[in-house]
Amino acid sequence: MNMQYIHPADQLVMFMQRIYDKGLTTTSGGNLSIMDSDGNIWITPASVDKGTLTRRDIVCVHPDGSCEGPHKPSSELPFHASAYKMRPDLKAVLHAHPPALVAFSIIRRVPNLDLIPSVRKICPDVQTAVYGVPGSEDLGDKIGQVFAGGCDIAMLENHGVCIGAPDMFAAFQRFETLNYTAELEILAGKLGPVKALSPQDNRMAESSYHTKMDDFIPHTFTSEELSARRDMITLIRRSYRMNLFTATHGTYSVRLSDGSFLITPFGMDRAYLEEDDLVRVKAGMKEVGKIPSRAVRFHEEVYRNNPDVRAVLQAHPVHAVAFAVTDAAFDPRTIPESYILLRDIKKMPYREMYANPAEASRAFGPANPAVMVENDSVIVTGNSLLQAFDRLEVLESTAHSIINSSTLGEIVHITGQEIEDLKTAFRLED
């Protein structure tokens, strides 16, 4: 979806709806704005339900200060205007109070930006703006000072976060990514000391963003491929709604009967992906004009070395990834469903997937359908897309349950004999 063709008022409604639906703001909290090419500031209104916002509710503030619309502009207009004044390159501003980022604002600390790759790329610098009264010129000046120094993200003391960007999607991506790493740090802290990526690992992540591949031009689309594209898009959108990954991170792939496979594209918004955005990879080549996920070589090796695998899902569900950023062991022997679907889950060193994808791909097998990649993600496989997705859901649900249990008392696992009974009853392979 190309945002430059969507009216500012419609963009504000779209993104406020996403923020509200994910529980990252309240009915009356948060505000968004976009500055158009004529210098008008389009901004969400004051005292209007964020859950029912429409394009007619959006207020246009002209350069002379006059307003157009049925409502008053947000009371935080001063700091939006200050941000645009201090940074003419910014064309979108987002302010919200998600619980995780509010928690950091209350203790006046910035979340750890080095827990997983890409966070530093999307949010390279986060600074703190000194407390100011909401809606005041003073708060606008304090946020403006942060932006004037070249930083695009301001944590507001005891208030939340304010983010500037060249467009609203970039602002939302920074917001979602920062909130994710805040939630991850909080959850991981319940399991034990949190481990961060080294500078070397961050540099490696940066260098792995683009995979060079030759192009091919597809001339036909079989019914099998069209069905796979439809099913992938259905589950990708569901995964985004369920917070199994973020707008631009999370990779699904499905193998076709001719040995080629479909994979999610690099950097595109998962909430709005369409069937024709998916990238077909065949014999080491990619569809012309498309950029596959940076994990494409790893997926290719998984299929090469695991003939029974038909789908590979790489995702970042926050409870599961909490185990990947700590030394805490993930033990699925909690309820029968968890063990039956997940079996034994290994942790893979971060570098392995990108530095040695062929060797890393051999971590999977009948007794190991899923792995955790340290400081990165979880990867599940299946003999169908639906089976892999089921495993991903169960993995996140199990991780959520274990973290909850750890705060209640000692965890009691299913015994060794009970595990053997499950293997016999469900004919599980070793």
Nearest to 384 by CA among 299, 315, 313: 313
- The domain boundary, picked from 139, 158, 189, lies at 189
Same domain, yes or no, for 135 and 266? Answer: no
Same domain, yes or no, for 162 and 50? Answer: yes
Q: Alpha helix (H) ranges present in 190-277?
A: 199-207, 223-241
Same domain, yes or no, for 330 and 279? Answer: yes
Local structure of 31: helix, strand or coil: strand
Total count of residues recorded for the chain: 430
Check: CB of residue 282 under 8 Å from CB of residue 256.
no
In a domain, 198, yes or no: no
Same domain, yes or no, for 177 and 266? Answer: no
Same domain, yes or no, for 136 and 237? Answer: no
Sign of CA dihedral 239, 244, 250, 252: negative
Same domain, yes or no, for 159 and 250? Answer: no
Q: How far lies 262's CA from each of 240, 246, 419, in Å?
A: 18, 20, 36
Nearest to 251 by CA among 279, 226, 224: 279
Same domain, yes or no, for 111 and 259? Answer: no
In a domain, 430, yes or no: no
| pTM across the whole model | 0.95
Return per-residue pLDDT of the chain as tens, 430 residues.
777 899 999 999 999 999 999 999 999 999 999 999 999 999 999 999 999 999 999 999 999 999 999 999 999 999 999 999 999 999 999 999 999 999 999 999 999 999 998 899 999 999 999 999 998 999 999 999 999 999 999 999 999 999 999 999 999 999 999 999 999 999 999 999 999 998 888 777 666 556 789 999 998 899 999 999 999 999 999 999 999 999 989 999 999 999 999 999 998 999 999 999 999 999 999 999 999 999 999 999 999 999 999 999 999 999 999 999 999 999 999 999 999 999 999 999 988 888 899 999 999 999 999 999 999 999 999 999 999 999 999 999 999 999 999 889 999 999 999 999 999 999 998 8
In a domain, 369, yes or no: yes
Same domain, yes or no, for 253 and 185? Answer: no
Beta bridge partners of 282: 285
* Count of other CB atoms within 10 angstroms of residue 135: 15
Same domain, yes or no, for 99 and 133? Answer: yes
Per-residue model confidence as pLDDT tens digits over 34-80: 999 999 999 999 999 999 999 999 999 999 999 999 999 999 999 99
Same domain, yes or no, for 130 and 238? Answer: no
Same domain, yes or no, for 246 and 350? Answer: yes
In a domain, 203, yes or no: no
Please state, in angstroms and rounded to a whole number, the distance separating the CA atoms of residues 206 and 324. 19
Which two three-digit tokens encode residue 255? 């193998």
Per-residue model confidence as pLDDT tens digits over 86-123: 999 999 999 999 999 999 999 999 999 999 988 999 99
Check: CB of residue 236 under 8 Å from CB of residue 252.
yes
Query: Could you tell me the residue range of the domain that residue 395 belongs to?
Result: 210-425
Number of folded domains in the chain?
A: 2
DSSP-assigned letters across all residues of 145-186: HHHHTT--EEEETTTEEEEEESSHHHHHHHHHHHHHHHHHHH
CATH code of the domain covering residue 96: 3.40.225.10
List phi, psi (to 5°) of 30: 85, 155
Q: Which residue has the tokens 């631009």?
A: 248
- The domain boundary, picked from 156, 189, 222, lies at 189
Residue 68 is given by DSSP the state E
- The domain boundary, picked from 159, 189, 219, lies at 189
Residue 397 is given by DSSP the state H
Same domain, yes or no, for 181 and 245? Answer: no
Please state, in angstroms and rounded to a whole number, the distance separating the CA atoms of residues 262 and 73. 45
